[in-house]
Amino acid sequence: MHELSICRSIVDVVDRHAAGRGVEVINLQVGELRQIVPDTLVYCWTLVTADTALASSQLRVDRVTAAIRCKACGHGTALTGPILVCEACDGRDVEIVAGEEFLITSLELVEA
Amino acid sequence: MGRFHRHEDGQEHAHDEAHVDRGDHSGYATGTDRVEILERVFEENDRTAAANRADFDAAGVIAVNLMSSPGAGKTALLAETLRRLRGTVRIGIVEGDIETSLDAERLAGFGAQIALLNTANGFGGECHLDAPMVRAALGRLSLGDIDLLVVENVGNLVCPAEFHVGEHRRAMVYSITEGEEKPLKYPVMFRSVDLVVVNKMDLLPHLDFDLAAFRANLADVNPRVRVIETSARDGSGVDEWCEWLREGVQVAA
């Protein structure tokens, strides 16, 4: 249930950037290698923002597919599971090039 | 953090700026202003983790974040560790638990400095230690008088993996009673660590545990991880674990 504390972190960032303006949407990027469950995050958002100025705001989550690149053969593999093996050469000397993102990318604010 | 990602049309490319799949936003094309932020959600935690790390480095302390599921044997292993390293390495422990001081009490009497962190105050009890919690505990330790700090995290295979606390290295204790598929079920945790201690090896004759399958699953999610097999109960492998723990630790002459 770390989604709750994560939502509190998001509130802090949103408050700082919104500077008192109404917030309609918070756009997030969440990599698939993160243990963040979007539905849980959205549920926790309603708990954390209840009775606050953000109560009517909406979290919109953009999932980012995980990918690795093989250091031996250079091949890029999009991951469908957590197994870090190059699909081209079965190599295990790989680096994660996508899937660990966890960003607040933008806010949609009520026009001043 | 990688900036590459694949799109559903099969293209893969790099972004210099993080990218939002905008989709159909026509419904609110008017009446709203989009403000780009590009801020990592863990930014604040990671800033505090960096401050913790700077304090460790300034005091010459090596910090290890020790994680596991509940009941894997972290505290038993630590008690055995303190017994062996007592008098050679000055150890501090941050003991994270949702409730009770039971674990801290088990570790008392070995000459280590212990700071207990109960996470139950707050929103229902945190399932992990984060960098600000550890920072609060550091105020109750004398970093100048320790060489090695072990942060015993809350027993949980999910949440602690996401929060850096300023540690130099990460280890987890896994017990063979947990089943060989756990690395596949909790890949973020198993991928996040430098070392997996495979504990309760004394129970191997009594279980249907397939050690080779476990190691293969672990290698699939974390190809570079080191493995040490131990039994905190009979002491086997504990010296090897203590050696790993002491790597890089500068002991005052």
Domain segments of chain A: what residues? 3-65+99-109
Contact (CB, 8 A) for B249 and B147: yes
Exposure string of A3-17, with b = 16+ CB inside 10 Å and e = fewer, is bbbbbebbbebbeeb
Amino acid at B169: R
Measured distance CA(B46)–CA(B132) in Å, rounded: 9
CA atoms within 13 A on the CB side of B129: 32
Partner residues linked to B4 by β-bridges: B14
Condensed to tens digits (0 to 9), the pLDDT of residues B38-79 reads 999 999 899 999 999 999 999 999 999 999 999 999 999 999
For the cut 70, the answer to whether the pLDDT of residue A30 exceeds it is yes
**Residue B7 above 70 pLDDT?**
no
Q: What is the ipTM, given to two decimal places?
A: 0.84
User: In this model, does residue B220 exceed pLDDT 80?
Assistant: yes
Residue that wins the pLDDT comparison between B25 and B175: B175
Two tokens, residue A26: 């918070």
Give Rg (Cα) of chain A. Answer: 18
Q: What is the CATH topology of the domain spanning A3-65+99-109?
A: hypothetical protein PF0899 fold (3.30.2320)
The one-letter amino acid at B21? D
| Token output for A21 | 């303006």
Residues B41-52 pLDDT 10s: 999 899 999 999
Mean pLDDT along residues B214-237: 96
Task: Say whether A104 and B39 touch across the interface (CB within 8 A).
Answer: yes
Instruction: Report the pLDDT value the prediction gives residue B128, as an integer from 0 to 100.
Output: 87
End-to-end CA distance of chain A: 36
Q: pLDDT category, B17, cuts 50, 70, 90?
A: very low
Tokens of B5: 């990602």
> In the structure, what pLDDT confidence band is assigned to residue B164 with cuts at 50, 70 and 90?
very high
Contacts of B20 in chain A (CB under 8 A): 27, 29, 62, 105-106
Which residue in B38, B159, B223 is closest to A92 by CB distance?
B223
CA dihedral B127, B214, A35, B5 (to 10 degrees): 160
CA-to-CA distance for B134 and B117, rounded, in angstroms?
Answer: 8
DSSP three-state, residue B46: helix
Per-residue pLDDT tens for A39-96? 999 999 999 999 999 999 999 999 999 999 999 999 999 999 999 999 999 999 999 9
B16 pLDDT exceeds 60?
Answer: no
Say if the Cβ atoms of B159 and A1 lie within 8 Å: yes
Q: Give me the residues of A, 72-91, that contact B with CB < 8 A.
A: 76, 78, 81-85
Contact A62 B126 (CB under 8 A): no
Q: What is the rounded distance in angstroms from the CA atom of residue A93 to the CA atom of residue A70?
A: 6
B157 has pLDDT over 80: yes
> How many CB atoms within 10 Å of residue B40?
17
Residue A83 has its nearest CB partner, among B124, B128, B220, at B220
